[in-house]
């Protein structure tokens, strides 16, 4: 039987990736640090997935197990498994890299030369390649040839809106939208590519990663930050506000103009992609908190992430960017005392001022015209 270890039994882990693997007949062991999730999954071996959208139904995922990712027994699983996937959050990949390196070392010491593919399913451009770099920091260099020969680090783009479930009756229940898309880089596998319905292959991954991250996630984050400024609690409330919807759509069109120029996407098809995403944001069956979408603002202000990378593209190609600039300014207005990154952002803003904080987090030049434009928009939004 094909086995997989999935790091991160959270929303997307249970609601999308783990479900796809289990539905494909793969035995999935979730590795997580949440004791309630680990205990429930390892005792029940199944959980409900509420699919809500044009259709509403509940599927039951079966044949799963779980382990605390800090337990030494996990190394034995890594030494023998066929597939590893992750959905822990980009900031956590560094933390699981040591465990992966130790498990891989045990695999190689055992002489296990069966191919193993590792796929990070994170909102991060080439997150698996980043994870490989972190693993190499902990792997004994003598095993580098085996790693290169037998272990594929496969980058992916993953798309399904999965907020925390509103089903309070079951801690394992997860509520997902109907839409889903998981695209992986077929050039990076070792051995045969596993046949997993719902896992799409491409040799042009960057186009799909950037299309998703810099359309859906760009629109999502601006919806969240403009919605927070307007006093809304959920994405649904915010996108129902005509003024916010118009600004979000315009920002997605600005980032879309960059994508069309960079990847040659068809204009009409990309416009339809934007409209579909706006409809997904408005899904009346999903309750998606602004604080979930707006979480970790420092990560999302990074130069390779959903706000700044599209902005840099508009500067490169000379494309309008007024709405992206407003979204970036709104990021600096975001407050959430329960989000350490939001707290840090506000502290740095208060002590160093907008332009210095902007330069620190985004890499933009504090003395640039664009920094001035963002500061002007920030002052207008924050007063």
Rule CB under 6 A: say whether 67 interacts with ligand NAD: no
Q: Which of 52, 67, 92, 366 forms a contact with ligand NAD (CB under 6 A)?
A: 92
Q: Which of 107, 190, 249, 295 forms a contact with ligand 44H (CB under 6 A)?
A: 295
For the segment 120-149, give every residue that binds ligand NAD (CB under 6 A): 122-123
Give min distance, CB of 352 to ligand NAD, in A. 28
Report whether 8 belongs to an annotated binding site. yes
Give min distance, CB of 13 to ligand NAD, in A. 6
Buried b (16+ CB within 10 A) or exposed e, 231-248: ebebbbbbbebeebbebb
Q: Report which of 84, 9, 19, 4 is spatially closest to residue 49, judged by C-alpha positions.
A: 19
In the chain, the N- to C-terminal Cα span, in Å, equals: 61
Alpha carbons 235 and 221: distance in angstroms, whole number: 10
Helices 218-229 and 322-331 meet at what angle, rounded to 10?
60
Rule CB under 6 A: say whether 253 interacts with ligand 44H: no
Enumerate the β-bridge partners of residue 59: 49
Give min distance, CB of 87 to ligand NAD, in A. 4
Considering only the stretches 99-107, 146-154, 291-299, 346-354, report the one whose residues sit in contact with ligand 44H under the rule CB under 6 A: 291-299
Considering only the stretches 105-113, 158-166, 197-205, 352-360, report the one whose residues sit in contact with ligand 44H under the rule CB under 6 A: 158-166
| Beta-sheet strands, E only, within the chain | 3-7, 27-32, 46-52, 56-62, 64-68, 83-86, 116-120, 151-154, 156-159, 174-177, 181-185, 199-202
Rule CB under 6 A: say whether 155 interacts with ligand NAD: no
Rule CB under 6 A: say whether 328 interacts with ligand 44H: no
Of the pair 217, 247, the CB lying nearest ligand 44H is at 217
Give min distance, CB of 309 to ligand 44H, in A. 13
Enumerate the β-bridge partners of residue 165: none
Alpha carbons 382 and 133: distance in angstroms, whole number: 40
Binding residues for NAD(+): 4-15
Query: Interface with ligand NAD by CB under 6 A: which residues?
Result: 7-13, 31-34, 37, 69, 87-90, 92, 95-96, 122-123, 158-162
């Amino acid at each position: 039987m094909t086995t997989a270890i999935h790091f991160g039994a959270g929303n997307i882990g249970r609601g999308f990736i783990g479900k796809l693997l289990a539905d494909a007949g793969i035995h999935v062991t979730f590795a997580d640090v949440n004791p309630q999730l680990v205990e429930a999954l390892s005792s029940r071996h199944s959980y409900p997935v509420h699919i809500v959208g044009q259709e509403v139904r509940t599927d039951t995922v079966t044949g799963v197990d779980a382990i605390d990712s800090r337990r030494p027994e996990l190394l034995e699983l890594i030494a023998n498994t066929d597939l590893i996937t992750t959905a822990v959050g980009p900031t956590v990949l560094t933390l699981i890299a040591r465990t992966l390196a130790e498990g891989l070392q045990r695999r190689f010491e055992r002489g296990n030369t069966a191919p193993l593919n590792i796929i990070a399913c994170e909102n991060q451009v080439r997150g698996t390649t980043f994870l490989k770099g972190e693993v190499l920091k902990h792997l004994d260099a003598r095993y580098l040839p085996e790693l290169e020969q037998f272990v594929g680090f496969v980058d992916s783009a993953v798309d399904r809106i999965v907020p925390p479930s509103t089903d309070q009756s079951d801690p394992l229940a997860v509520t997902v939208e109907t839409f889903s898309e998981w695209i992986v880089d077929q050039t990076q596998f070792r051995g045969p590519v596993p046949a997993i319905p719902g896992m799409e292959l491409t040799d042009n991954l960057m186009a799909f990663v950037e299309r998703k991250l810099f359309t859906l996630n760009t629109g999502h984050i601006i919806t969240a930050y403009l919605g927070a400024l307007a006093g809304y609690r959920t994405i649904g409330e915010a996108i129902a506000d005509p003024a916010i919807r118009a600004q979000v759509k315009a920002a997605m069109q600005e980032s879309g103009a960059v994508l069309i120029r960079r990847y040659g996407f068809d204009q009409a098809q990309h416009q339809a992609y934007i409209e579909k995403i706006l409809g997904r944001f408005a899904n009346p069956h999903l309750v998606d908190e602004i604080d979930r979408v707006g979480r970790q603002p420092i990560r999302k202000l990074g130069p390779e992430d959903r706000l700044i990378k599209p902005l840099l593209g508009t500067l490169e190609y000379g494309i309008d960017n007024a709405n992206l600039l407003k979204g970036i300014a709104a990021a600096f207005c975001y407050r959430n005392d329960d989000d350490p990154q939001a707290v840090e952002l506000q502290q740095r803003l208060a002590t160093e001022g907008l332009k210095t904080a902007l330069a620190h987090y985004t890499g933009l030049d504090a003395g640039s015209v664009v920094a001035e434009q963002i500061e002007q928009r920030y002052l207008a939004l924050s007063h």
